[in-house]
Amino acid sequence: MKKSMILFVLLISMAALALSACSTQATPVYAQGDEKDKAISTADPMAQDILDGIQQDDFTLYSKDFDDQMAKASTKDSFETMIKQFSAYGELQGSEPINVEIVSTYYRVNYKLTFANKVLTMGVVIPNDGTSAVSGLWFK
pTM over the 0.85 mark:
no
55 in Cβ contact with 92 (< 8 Å): yes
Mean pLDDT of residues grouped by 10 in the chain (140 residues)?
44 45 71 97 97 96 96 95 95 97 97 97 95 94
Q: 1 lies in a domain? A: no
48 in Cβ contact with 132 (< 8 Å): no
* CATH number, residue 92: 3.10.450.590
Q: 122 lies in a domain? A: yes
Q: 13 lies in a domain? A: no
Q: 115 lies in a domain? A: yes
Quote the pLDDT of residue 131. 83
Q: 14 lies in a domain? A: no
The 3-state secondary structure of 73-112 reads HCCHHHHHHHHHHHHCCCCEEEEEEEEEEEECCEEEEEEE
Q: 20 lies in a domain? A: no
What domain range is 78 assigned to? 30-139
Number of domains forming the structure of the chain = 1
